[in-house]
């Protein structure tokens, strides 16, 4: 049984002190700006830090919003563009502070990118880079292979989530989303300095951080090309600092999904690192080739199951077609070899996707076909099927229209329906933001860009609890995340920059079930309590879509300002 700390007494949830909901970070001057009120009113005002009224407008009714249970009213101040710090005021009630400015998301972008440094395993966090969140080296011992008992050096990588485990499929997903963010928006990351040990090396910081994970992934590949599924202890550690976790580490059996994902991300990274470190690029390519060869020799699905006595993350999948689809696309994009192109096209037409074409745009660790689709669309090698590319472009665009229509039905402009408020609902919200950015790039439609911004606004406080779901951000954000270092470090503030899982109508842990009443509307099924791991955990693949979304916004604004 885990022992939970009691260092922070304040618990947020449906008792939010604010009743006017805004993006607590702020708004771009020319963007849509809408505050949400769960109560009727006629007029609203924008006030400055002195309380002076600078703008006034009429409140309009949206109607009833199902996911929040609120009757929603909207205060639209889109035509207020003056840079500064403000609040929305209605009848004596005020919102949290927010800023308006061209670079309003710059610090947030840096914080969510820097968060990966705090998750480094096998690495002490130096005070020069981590400040008061510094700690000693952790998990440096050899790990025992559960396949043959050999001892393996698997130091490195990122701690996956609130626990200290490291998982290949999860790590590949997060790393790939960061690599694609760089691939789409390299100029944005060229300017980003997040103050990590590798800063100033001539390699963008985000790639240096990805390399920390990639070096670990290379250690998780068996000599024959297969990838071990995970490296963890048998049970989750109590709420202690990482260097205090001395339980024995194990390397678990291989799986075909882990092998395909490792192959794919190594191929993707090889192409990107070719411009910075040819030797490392070659290592990645060889690992990808070994992984793909193993997949060819093992066409059957090799699943993963926890052995008896193990309670750490499972990350099990029911099949591996989408993983192999991604691997084939990345190998073709890297090499141009017709073999991989033919394999991809055969997988593209697989009956597995019949009635499930949505998997071809999925961006999560458990359904990852969207990364394979992106790889093929972006590929510049001769021989790719333009018919397939046209289909995939249409698929991404069609989904963006569907997501837009869902957002229009929500008083908070979220794309999430009631059934989508599950464990990690903020990941789904951010995947929607990613897809809107992609659809904007594919079509040039500004409407998609505006809805990408709306998903960010929801994450950052324009929701029924007025909660900004990024630690250390805004006036009202989680202080008790389910994250062991944050709970054990004796520091009042949480480690900053982490995206929190968010509302979960399924209440998938006993503490959430005990605290949140049955029948609570989905968007209100959240509490800031480190015991509630199904609501308040962090993980590496929740930050990565946030970084992609923020990079897309930075890119879009830079282009707009250049044109002006």
Tens of pLDDT along the chain (564 residues) come to 354 554 444 444 445 667 999 999 999 999 999 999 999 999 999 999 999 999 999 999 999 999 999 999 999 999 999 999 999 999 999 999 999 999 999 999 999 999 999 999 998 999 999 999 999 999 999 999 999 999 999 999 999 999 999 999 999 999 999 999 999 999 999 999 999 999 999 999 999 999 999 999 999 999 999 999 999 999 999 999 999 999 999 999 999 999 999 999 999 999 999 999 999 999 999 999 999 999 999 999 999 999 999 999 999 999 999 999 999 999 999 999 999 999 999 999 999 999 999 999 999 999 999 999 999 999 999 999 999 999 999 999 999 999 999 999 999 999 999 999 999 999 999 999 999 999 999 999 999 999 999 999 999 999 999 999 999 999 999 999 999 999 999 999 999 999 999 999 999 999 999 999 999 999 999 999 999 999 999 999 999 999 999 999 999 999 988 876
Considering only CA atoms, which of 480, 483, 485 is closest in space to residue 135?
485
Which residue in 90, 50, 96 sits closest to 74, CA to CA?
90
Which tokens sit at 125? 């966090």
- Contact (Cβ atoms closer than 8 angstroms) between residue 327 and residue 292: yes
Q: Which listed residue (163, 205, 320, 509) is catalytic?
A: 163
Asked if 436 contacts 455 with a C-beta cutoff of 8 angstroms, the reply is yes
Catalytic residue chosen out of the listed positions 289, 330, 509, 537: 537
Task: With CA atoms as reference, report the closest residue to 323 among 250, 388, 258.
Answer: 258
Question: Whose CA is closest to 209, among 115, 108, 334, 111?
Answer: 115
The candidate with the shortest Cα–Cα distance to 154, out of 248, 236, 281, is 248
| 163 tagged catalytic | yes
Tell me the C-alpha distance between 245 and 137, whole Å: 11
Residue 151 β-bridge partners: 144
Name the catalytic one among 205, 528, 529, 530. 528
Catalytic-role residue among 139, 431, 482, 556: 482
In CATH, the architecture of 119-346 is: Alpha/alpha barrel (1.50)
> Which pTM was predicted?
0.97
Active site residue 528: yes
Token representation of residue 430: 């951010």
Q: What angle do CA 431, 434, 435 make, to 5 degrees?
A: 90
Phi, psi of 143 (to 5 degrees): -115, 145
């Amino acid at each position: 049984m885990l022992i939970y700390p009691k260092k922070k007494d304040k618990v947020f949830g449906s008792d939010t002190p604010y009743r006017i909901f805004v993006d607590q970070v702020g708004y771009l001057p020319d963007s849509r700006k809408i505050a949400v009120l769960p109560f009727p009113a006629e007029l609203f005002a924008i006030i400055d830090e002195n309380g002076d009224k600078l703008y006034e407008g009429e409140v309009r009714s949206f109607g009833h919003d199902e996911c929040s249970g609120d009757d929603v009213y909207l205060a639209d101040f889109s035509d207020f563009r003056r840079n500064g710090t403000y609040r929305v005021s209605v009848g004596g009630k005020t919102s949290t502070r927010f800023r308006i400015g061209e670079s309003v998301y710059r610090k947030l972008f840096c914080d969510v990118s820097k968060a990966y440094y705090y998750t480094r395993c096998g690495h002490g966090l130096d005070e020069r880079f981590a400040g008061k969140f510094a700690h000693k080296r952790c998990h440096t011992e050899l790990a025992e292979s559960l396949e043959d008992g050999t001892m393996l050096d698997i130091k490195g990588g990122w701690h996956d989530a609130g626990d200290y485990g490291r998982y290949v499929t999860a790590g590949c997903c997060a790393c790939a989303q960061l690599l694609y963010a760089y691939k789409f928006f390299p100029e944005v990351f060229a300017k980003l300095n997040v103050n990590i040990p590798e800063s100033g090396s001539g390699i963008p910081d985000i790639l240096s951080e990805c390399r920390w994970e990639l070096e670990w992934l290379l250690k998780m590949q068996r000599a024959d090309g297969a990838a071990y599924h995970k490296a963890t202890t048998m049970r989750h550690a109590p709420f202690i600092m990482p260097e205090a976790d001395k339980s024995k580490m194990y390397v678990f059996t291989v799986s075909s999904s882990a092998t395909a994902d490792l192959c794919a991300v190594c191929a993707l990274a090889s192409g990107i690192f070719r411009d910075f470190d040819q030797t490392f690029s070659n290592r990645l390519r060889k690992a990808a080739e070994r992984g793909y060869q193993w997949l060819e020799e093992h066409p059957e699905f090799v699943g993963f199951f926890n052995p008896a006595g193990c309670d750490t993350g499972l990350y099990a999948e029911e099949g591996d077609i989408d993983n192999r689809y991604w691997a084939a696309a990345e190998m073709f994009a890297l090499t141009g070899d017709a073999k991989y192109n033919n394999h991809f096209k055969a997988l593209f037409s697989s009956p597995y996707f019949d009635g499930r074409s949505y998997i071809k745009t999925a961006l999560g660790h458990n359904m990852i076909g969207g990364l394979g689709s992106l790889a093929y669309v972006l590929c510049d090698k001769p021989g790719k099927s333009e018919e397939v590319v046209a289909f995939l472009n249409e698929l991404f665009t069609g989904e963006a229209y569907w997501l837009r229509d869902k957002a229009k039905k929500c008083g908070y402009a979220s794309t999430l329906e009631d059934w989508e408020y599950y464990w990690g609902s903020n990941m789904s919200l951010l995947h929607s933001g990613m897809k809107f950015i992609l659809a904007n790039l594919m079509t040039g439609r500004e409407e998609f860009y505006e809805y990408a911004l709306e998903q960010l606004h929801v994450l950052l406080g324009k929701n029924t609890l007025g909660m900004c779901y990024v630690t250390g951000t805004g006036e009202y954000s989680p202080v008790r995340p389910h994250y062991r270092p944050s709970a054990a470090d004796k520091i009042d503030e949480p480690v900053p920059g982490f995206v929190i899982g968010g509302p979960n109508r399924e209440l998938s842990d006993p503490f959430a079930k005990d605290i949140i009443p049955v029948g609570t509307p989905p968007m209100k099924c959240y509490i800031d309590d480190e015991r509630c791991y199904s609501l308040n955990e962090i993980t590496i693949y929740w930050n990565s879509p946030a970084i992609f979304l923020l990079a897309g916004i930075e890119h879009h604004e830079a282009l707009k300002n250049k044109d002006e």
